[in-house]
Amino acid sequence: RKEVEQDPGPFNVPEGATVAFNCTYSNSASQSFFWYRQDCRKEPKLLMSVYSSGNEDGRFTAQLNRASQYISLLIRDSKLSDSATYLCVVPVGHKFYFGSGTKLNVKP
Amino acid sequence: SQTIHQWPATLVQPVGSPLSLECTVEGTSNPNLYWYRQAAGRGLQLLFYSVGIGQISSEVPQNLSASRPQDRQFILSSKKLLLSDSGFYLCAWTIGNTEAFFGQGTRLTVV
């Protein structure tokens, strides 16, 4: 079983829509979680950190469900500039495991 | 502030040739360092990580190797490249289990 699993998408949504991605992880001992954004042919960049039950930053909300071992990312009022691939990251010891990413296409 | 440098940005190499990619970090001490590879349209695969000078852990068997000759320097090497080594190579650093920061990556094409 993979350490981190994500729905690859793509999610095609209109501007202004609300969209949510889920990510499941296998190691119940993991304490911190991250969402990264990766634009085409670029390096991943940190979007949000999740250390407890959740985190909110403007239009972005991350939630953690330890019992079910999943992390979600909610994007409200989608913008064209939100189009990217969103990667879920779960550290296990010194290793950072990445999900395969969920592709989001926001259309006018 | 901390920065990470990775070079070259793009590389085209023939099959069977050697490889050396270098990554350096500035502005921090004792970072954990990582090499990832991303095949086209795929996720990031952890290749190597290092928690200190000379300490290398390998995640997958392959014809690549890594070295950490200095605290903030991480090198990815190969003696003979294969076609399957093509991909986007990313170096990253962290302190503990805080977020990872990435270099700009090297796009390697083996021909």
CA distance B44 to chain A (A): 6
Average pLDDT, chain B: 93
Question: Look-up: residue for tokens 């634009």?
Answer: A39
Burial of B30 (0-12, 13-18, 19+ CB in 10 A): exposed
Q: Does B41 touch chain A (CB under 8 A)?
A: no
- Enter the tokens of residue B38: 């991303």
Residues of B in contact with A89 (CB under 8 A): 100
Q: Residue range A19-32: average pLDDT?
A: 91
> What does the CA dihedral A3, B22, B54, B18 come to, rounded to 10 degrees?
90
Q: How many CB atoms lie within 10 A of CB A27?
A: 15
Q: Does A45 touch chain B (CB under 8 A)?
A: yes
- Enter the tokens of residue B15: 């099959």
- The answer for residues whose C-beta is within 8 angstroms of residue A45's C-beta and 6 or more apart is A36, A37, A38, B102
Residues of A in contact with B100 (CB under 8 A): 34, 46, 89, 96
Q: Residue range A40-61: average pLDDT?
A: 91
Residues within 8 A of B (CB atoms), A 79-98 only: 87, 89, 91, 94-98
* pLDDT the model gives residue B62: 77
Residues of B in contact with A100 (CB under 8 A): 42-43
Q: Do A98 and B90 touch (CB under 8 A)?
A: no
- Enter the tokens of residue A8: 């690859």
Give CA angle at B23 (B21, B26), nearest 5°: 165
Q: Does B33 touch chain A (CB under 8 A)?
A: no
* pLDDT the model gives residue B56: 95
CA distance B43 to chain A (A): 4
Round to whole Å and give the CA distance between A104 and A10. 6
Give the confidence band of A51 by pLDDT, cuts at 50, 70, 90. Answer: confident
pLDDT surpasses 70 at B61: no
Q: Do A46 and B92 touch (CB under 8 A)?
A: no
Q: Residue range B68-77: average pLDDT?
A: 96
Round to whole Å and give the CA distance between A3 and B50. 20
Among B32, B43, B88, select the one facing A98 at the smallest CB separation: B43
**Which of A42, A108, A47 is closest to A75 using CA atoms?**
A47
CA distance B16 to chain A (A): 26
> What does the CA dihedral B68, B34, A69, A37 come to, rounded to 10 degrees?
160
